[in-house]
Structure 1
Amino acid sequence: MNTEATSATAGASAKQPLDEIMLAMDVVDTLRRRERLVKREIEVEGREQDLKERLRKIYQAQGIEVSDRILAEGVAALREDRFVYKPPAESFHVKLARLYVSRNRWGKWLLGGIGVLIIAWTVNYFVFVAPSKALPEEIATVHAEVTEIARSDRARERAEQLLNAGQTALDNENKDAARQALRLLEDLRTRLEQEYTLRIVNRPREQSGVWRVPDINTRARNYYLIVEAIDPSGKVLTVPVTNEETGKIERVTQWGLRVDEATFQRVARDKQNNGIIEEDRVGHKKRGYLRPDYKIRTTGGAITQW
């Protein structure tokens, strides 16, 4: 029984109570605040006891009893710099720790940079990469739709030409040419899907016809009737039209249809008679066909500006 008590006492003394440690730290702190006093007393041999007595009086004035052992530990700790913070030596782990602590300063810039990169990648993918990957399938799909709608050999031949052009462009990794082939196939599909009556524009203060002097022959004239496409419900359609002066396909609601001089003059006289063109229908376009069935003499050539 005595042995157990002795062991318990030894274990208790081996572990210094936390309040004693805190008190010793406070002693060191008090000594540091009185730096001049400490320096003078601690450096003079034999004056350590006087220093302890002064410290005891300081604490007694605050109502705190401090033992000799605590005072001795405090003075020893001050000599040994026991409670002084010493920064760790420079190392990779220390640098990482400092980087982590300062994350609020540089983190927002890093996150902003990452955000910009993500946005740039997303835009690049959906604007350039994804559409390019879809090109082969889109070209094949539109071509299949065109051939299903087409009712004339000419339309089917044109669809095959554009399909071959698109596939050749893809084989050569020419994305621009492949997209151009796809756009032309889509225009072809639109033209084949449409059904309309072709009429001369016949409204007050709007032109019904124009003529042009060609650059290569200034003594000649090219005559055009201004026409529009009206679907079965009476709606004016937007139609892809090839401008014979530029060779470009444009989507328009009105265009100039090239006719001979006799047809042009006949329509002019009709309008001059009472301001109304009695015979304003010049053709009918059926679904599945490229060209209207014209009721007048025309080359089918067109202009889109006048």
Structure 2
Amino acid sequence: MAEMVATAPASPPDQPPRDLDEVMLAMDVVDTLRHQENLVSRELSEHDRDAQLLQRLREIYHGQGIEVPDRILQEGVQALKEQRFVYTPPGPSFSHTVARAWVNRGRIGRLLVTLLALLAFGWGAYHFGVVEPARQRAAEVQAQAERNRIELATRLPTALEQGHEDVLREAQVPAARERADRLLAEGKTAIARGDADRARQALNDLEVLRAELRREYVLRIVSRPGEPSGVWRVPERNPAGRNYYLIVEPVAPDGRILSLPVTSEEDGRTVTASKWGVRVSETTAMQVQRDKSDDGIVQRNRLGEKRRGQLDVEYQMPVLNGAITQW
């Protein structure tokens, strides 16, 4: 029940409500009637019901200390019947929709801007994150395919033949010529299959073989002060035995120390090293140790020599198969 304190004096019964206080009081009466559905029994006639409503309203407002004129009470009862103070929202229509959109234009505008921003971001992410990379990859694949086609048709066949001839001019052992022939055949087979990568690999292997044949050096035993000339190891598979190694370095004819690929027998890794240990027998290791013990210098310091046109080192001391790169 809505509560309201009336401060204006009651108007004569025959004078209709005209000021704001009277209108508000009439509205309060209507509100009181709406919230008091059991004020009057439904079985009463309309005339009796109106009388009962007026009487009940007088009691309610009198109990609240509010004096409400009968004409205000009658005005409220009549207003309730006529639904005068009831707001009936308009039904759906195009004009109503447009009006609501205009009233909410700020919120709708922000929503539209946010939606457009999300759509633009999504399109940009898809375009630059998916479409453009895919287009670039496709272009690169197409360009690489064209380069491969040109190389397979012109450069690679000529380069393979030239690389093979260069190796044969350097080779002084049958093993080198046989390897060159095998690489040439592999390259030609790759060209016939359209495999440019394998053809390039065959060409690269020919160039490596030629460089290996041209290389020449002396495998010298290290005998500098403070550096070991030999070491020994206890093999994991034979704890009761010992493996002996001479520490060597490859010296070019101009005195440069070369760095060459060496595979360690201990871990199987191949590294590029300027010094490594060559496995020898205990007898050979002891001979080098006695040589160095005389004056601190290994007089016979040539373990072997790699000549141009050869693939392998010609050892001047007996060696065993194996090497180490750390000690």
What's the TM-score, normalizing by structure 1?
A: 0.50
Instruction: Give, in angstroms, the shift of residue 296 of structure 1.
Output: 0.6
Aligned partner letter, 2:274:
T
Instruction: Give, in angstroms, the shift of residue 145 of structure 1.
Output: 1.5
Aligned partner letter, 1:157:
E
Instruction: Give, in angstroms, the shift of residue 215 of structure 1.
Output: 4.5
| Residue among 280, 288, 299 paired with 2:301 | 280
Query: 1:3 aligns to what?
Result: none
Are residues 1:231 and 2:252 paired? Answer: yes
Distance 1:285 1:173, change over 3 A: same
Cα distance between partner residues in 2 of 1:245 and 1:258: 12
Instruction: Give, in angstroms, the shift of residue 133 of structure 1.
Output: 6.2
RMSD: 4.4
Instruction: Give, in angstroms, the shift of residue 259 of structure 1.
Output: 1.7
Is the CA contact 2:171–2:310 (under 8 Å) kept in the aligned structure 1? yes
Instruction: Give, in angstroms, the shift of residue 165 of structure 1.
Output: 3.9
Is the CA contact 1:166–1:178 (under 8 Å) kept in the aligned structure 2? yes
How many residues were matched structurally? 205
Cα distance between partner residues in 1 of 2:149 and 2:232: 44
Are residues 1:260 and 2:281 paired? Answer: yes
Aligned partner letter, 2:300:
E
Instruction: Give, in angstroms, the shift of residue 240 of structure 1.
Output: 4.0
Is the CA contact 1:191–1:240 (under 8 Å) kept in the aligned structure 2? no
Query: 1:18 aligns to what?
Result: none
Instruction: Give, in angstroms, the shift of residue 172 of structure 1.
Output: 5.5
Instruction: Give, in angstroms, the shift of residue 256 of structure 1.
Output: 2.3
Query: 2:11 aligns to what?
Result: none
Cα distance between partner residues in 2 of 1:221 and 1:255: 18
| Residue among 215, 221, 225 paired with 1:204 | 225
Is the CA contact 2:151–2:196 (under 8 Å) kept in the aligned structure 1? no
Cα distance between partner residues in 2 of 1:191 and 1:221: 33
Q: Counterparts of 1:1-306 in structure 2 under 5 Å? A: 130=147, 134=151, 136-137=156-157, 138-169=159-190, 171=192, 178=199, 180-244=201-265, 250-299=271-320, 301-306=322-327
Higher deviation after alignment, 165-174 or 124-133: 124-133
SS of residue matched to 2:308: coil
Instruction: Give, in angstroms, the shift of residue 149 of structure 1.
Output: 0.4
Distance 1:259 1:184, change over 3 A: farther
Among all aligned residue pairs of Structure 1 and Structure 2, give the percentage whose two residues are the same amino acid. Answer: 43
Cα distance between partner residues in 1 of 2:193 and 2:239: 44
Distance 1:116 1:142, change over 3 A: same
Distance 1:165 1:230, change over 3 A: same
Instruction: Give, in angstroms, the shift of residue 244 of structure 1.
Output: 5.0
Is the CA contact 2:277–2:325 (under 8 Å) kept in the aligned structure 1? yes
Aligned partner letter, 2:232:
W
Cα distance between partner residues in 2 of 1:144 and 1:130: 25
Is the CA contact 1:284–1:292 (under 8 Å) kept in the aligned structure 2? yes
Query: 1:53 aligns to what?
Result: none
What's the TM-score, normalizing by structure 2?
A: 0.48
Q: Of the two, which has the highest radius of gyration?
A: 2
Cα distance between partner residues in 2 of 1:178 and 1:305: 36
Cα distance between partner residues in 2 of 1:209 and 1:241: 17
Cα distance between partner residues in 1 of 2:218 and 2:166: 23
Aligned partner letter, 1:195:
E
